[in-house]
Amino acid sequence: MNDLRELYREVILDHNRHPRNFGELQNPDKIIEGVNPLCGDRMTLYVKMENKKIQDISFKGTGCAISVASSSLMTEKAKGSSFEEIDALFEYVHEMLTGDPTTVASNLDTLDKLTALSGVREYPTRVKCATLAWHALKNAIVGSDDKISTE
Binding site for ligand FES (CB under 6 A): 36, 39, 41, 63-64, 66-67, 129
Closer residue to ligand FES (CB): 39 or 88: 39
For the bound state, the minimum distance from the C-beta of residue 133 to ligand FES, rounded and expressed in Å, comes to: 10
Closer residue to ligand FES (CB): 49 or 117: 117
CA distance 143 to 52: 11
Whether 73 and 67 have beta carbons less than 8 Å apart is answered as no
For the bound state, the minimum distance from the C-beta of residue 111 to ligand FES, rounded and expressed in Å, comes to: 21
CB count, 10 Å around CB of 79? 17
Closer residue to ligand FES (CB): 19 or 63: 63
The DSSP 8-state label assigned to residue 32 in this structure reads E
Instruction: Please count the CA atoms within 13 angstroms of the CA of 104 that sit on its side-chain side.
Output: 15
